[in-house]
Every structure is written in C-alpha cells, then in structure tokens.
C-alpha cells in the first residue's frame, strides 16, 4: 500500500495521502477526489480478517474430518481465495496495463496456478500473506502519519501582528514576510524571523532537541513552533508557511514516506528479474512433461491430453511470499521500537542506511541530554554554607517557571530545607531573578 503525501498541503494541515502509481507492489488506482483512505484501510483489514478466519476454519474442520468445511459444496479455502484473490488479481491487471512487472503479477500467477491445481488452501494462503503484508505497510504508513501530525501540532493556528500600532489576530496561513508578530509568554512562534524588541527564553526542543530554553533578545533568530516562555517578543517574519524550518522538516518527512526504501522494493526487483525466467521454466516443464502427447498431436493430429500440473507447480513455488511479508514486518517492528525510545525516523530507507553506519557525529552536546537538568556539586565560598546558599537560591527561584528554577526548588525539597517567603520577585530574561527575603 503505497501512498504519497502532498508536502505543500501537509505543511498546512491538509494531509491528503495521494496514490502513487509506480514503484510498488501494492497500488491503488482510485483518484477520485472523495477517496477516503480510512475507508480503504477498513476494507483491507476486513478482507484480511475474513480470509484469515476462513483459512483457520477450513483447517479446523479438516482436522476434525468434518464435511462442514464444504458448506453449499464450496471449500472454505476456495471461498477465502476468491474473496481475497480479487484484490490481488486486480492489482496485477492494473500493473500489466501500466507496463509494470512486479510482485503483484507474481502473486496473482501463484494464486491462480494454485487454484487450477486444486490446492485451494495454498491459493488462499498466498492471498492471505499478500493482504497481511499490505496491512503491515498500512500500519507503518499510519505511524509516519501520526509523527507528521505531531509536528503539525506545534504550528500555531493564529498569530498576533502589529498593524498601525495595534495588535491584530490573523490566521497563521495569512502571515507574510515583513509582518511584525507579537508573541506573548506561553505562546508558540508562528513564523521564522528575528526579534526586533523584547527579551525572553524560548524552548527550541521541537527543532533542536535542546533540553533548556535559549535566551533571545533583539537581533536573535527565532523559529516557527518554538515556545516563548517568559517575556513579550516582537518578531519580524522572514519565512512563513512551508518555507519555515518546521515546514521544511515536515515536508522532508512527507517526501521520505512517499517513497519506498530499497529493501521494500526487493519483491518487485525479484519479480522483474525472475518472473520471465519462471514463466520460461514453466513452459519448458509443460513441454517436457507432455512431450509424448505433443508428439502424437504433431504426428497424428489427435487432440493431446496435456497435464499442466507440473508447470503450475513451478509457478506456485516461485511466489515471492516471504519477501512480500518480511519487509513491511521488519520496518514496522523497527519503527515501533524506535518510537518507544523517542526516535523519529524519516522512513524505511533511513533504517536500512542505519544498519551500515559505523559512527555518529552530533553538532552540539545539547541534543544528547536526557531532557532534564540535574544539580551537580554545590560549592559555597566562605562564610556561606552550601545548604544555606541552596535554601536562599531556591526561595528566590520558587516563583519562577524556568527549568533551572524548578530544579533548585526540587533539590531544596529533597534536602529537607524550609524555604522562606520572598517579596518583590522579578524575572530578568537572560540574566536570572531578583527577590527580597
């Protein structure tokens, strides 16, 4: 199941997975504007579940020797093959029409050949493996979609701009280069730009992974999606929409997910290389196993009684089921494990390259933290006592929301120190706090 994001639309929250008609072994050819990927996904899951249940029921009834495995005279395995095989054959025909030779065709040939051999369970098994592989790819696609959606949530929907000296709230999509944005404490910045007035601390973790906010003042750059913690900022917009750093990250991820990795194309490469050879081998086997009847037909003109079973068996054996199922399963498992560890992966191609990496280079140590500061040694100069110094510092910092302030207050609590009340508290972005005890 191969879909392609429209990056320009994705950057503004209008994510429409679009079908991509080449370079994959599962394609969807409904380009209608009302195409519902969720409905398609539900249909895929339902078909997979029905085929799987029919296969299981067929084997259970066969083990019991029950004639009920042939309700209305039809094998449950044959019913499963027909229900799921329609999708496989449709995709194969679509591939042929487009001039593509891929795993779709190999799967369809194996399914039809097994059915002609009377091996309905094998035919249904081929179909089931193809559907399961498609479901796994859909899960991987959904995981990538959720990761991109999480990034979209960091982009503000509205922004305040200065117009004739007045603050006016506008939609983030309506921002233009040159607008002066007003960003209050607790708000996210809606455009990449430069601070023209004010001082504050800005949390840039969404872009840089830095655990501590960065002090910003006049002339400093700020970025879309970052969080203004304390002071009021006025920012002149220099990049808006998909041209911002966050927009480019989203677009990069969308493009990465729109293309299959080299490993994921293994089944199609196999089909392109070996399917012609397999078909040739099947024809040779057909001729070799039916040499006698064919000779009689050539000599006497009598209708030959051909036995196609050996040739059909060759087509079934050549099915790339393992590749169809193994690749999406491996990518899904790796992506899930990395997601639990907080690692965001662009796509399957990145995972493949990761296996060949010998060393990593990081541009700054701030991205390699655990995300929370810790207090190291406390060194107090005479006549100060370390505990007394911590008590006074924590008391002064208690009204502040800065991560380092919360750290000092937590350390004082762990040390069992009683903090005095303070007056005239003031936060000074970029320098610290002041208070009277």
Q: For this structure, is 363 an active site residue? A: yes
The number of C-alpha atoms within 13 Å of 46 and in the hemisphere containing its C-beta is: 6
163 vs 112: CA distance, rounded Å: 69
Q: Residue 93: which of 82, 81, 107 has the closest Cα? A: 107
348 vs 145: CA distance, rounded Å: 14
Which listed residue (34, 164, 363, 377) is catalytic? 363
Burial class (CB in 10 A: 0-12, 13-18, 19+), 14: exposed
Burial class (CB in 10 A: 0-12, 13-18, 19+), 313: middle
Unique residue bearing structure tokens 């991560």? 403
Unique residue bearing structure tokens 């097994």? 114
Gyration radius of the chain over CA positions: 32
What's phi and psi for 307, nearest 5 deg? Answer: -110, 100
436 vs 57: CA distance, rounded Å: 78
Q: Show which residues are catalytic.
A: 363
């Amino acid at each position: 199941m191969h879909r392609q994001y429209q990056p320009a639309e994705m950057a503004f929250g209008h994510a429409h997975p679009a079908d991509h008609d080449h370079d994959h072994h599962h394609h969807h050819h409904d380009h209608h504007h009302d195409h519902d990927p969720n409905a398609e996904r539900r249909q895929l899951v339902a078909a997979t579940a029905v085929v799987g249940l029919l296969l299981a029921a067929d084997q259970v009834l066969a083990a019991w020797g029950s004639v009920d495995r042939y309700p209305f005279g039809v094998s449950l395995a044959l019913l499963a093959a027909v229900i799921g095989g329609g999708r496989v054959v449709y995709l194969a025909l679509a591939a042929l029409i487009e001039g593509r030779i891929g795993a779709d065709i190999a799967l369809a040939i194996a399914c039809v050949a097994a059915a002609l051999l009377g091996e309905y369970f094998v035919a249904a098994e081929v179909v089931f493996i193809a559907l399961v592989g498609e479901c796994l790819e859909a899960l991987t696609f959904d995981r990538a979609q959720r990761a991109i959606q999480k990034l979209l949530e960091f982009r503000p929907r509205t922004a305040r701009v200065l117009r004739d000296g007045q603050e006016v709230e506008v939609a983030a999509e309506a921002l233009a280069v040159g607008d002066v944005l007003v960003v209050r404490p607790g708000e996210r910045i809606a455009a990449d730009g430069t601070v023209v007035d004010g001082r504050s601390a800005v949390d840039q973790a969404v872009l840089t992974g830095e655990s501590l906010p960065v002090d910003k003042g006049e002339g400093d750059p700020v970025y879309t999606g970052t969080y203004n913690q304390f002071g009021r900022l006025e920012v002149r917009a220099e990049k808006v929409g998909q041209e911002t750093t966050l927009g480019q990250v989203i677009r990069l991820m969308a493009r990465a997910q729109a293309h299959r990795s080299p490993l994921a194309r293994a089944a199609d490469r196999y089909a392109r290389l070996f399917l012609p050879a397999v078909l040739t081998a099947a024809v040779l086997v057909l001729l070799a196993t039916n040499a006698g009847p064919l000779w009689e037909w050539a000599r006497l003109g009598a209708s030959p009684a051909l036995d196609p079973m050996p040739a059909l068996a060759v087509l079934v054996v050549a099915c790339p089921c393992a590749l169809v199922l193994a690749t999406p399963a491996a990518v899904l498992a790796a992506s899930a494990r990395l997601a639990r560890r907080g690692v965001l992966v662009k796509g399957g191609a990145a995972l493949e390259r990761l296996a060949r990496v010998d060393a990593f280079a990081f541009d700054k140590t701030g991205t390699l933290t655990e995300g929370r500061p810790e207090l190291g040694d406390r060194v107090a100069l005479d006549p100060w006592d370390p505990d007394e110094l911590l008590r006074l510092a924590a008391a002064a910092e208690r009204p502040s929301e800065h991560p380092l302030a919360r750290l000092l207050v937590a350390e004082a609590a762990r040390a069992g120190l009683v903090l005095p009340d303070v007056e005239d508290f003031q936060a000074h972005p970029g320098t610290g706090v002041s208070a009277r005890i």
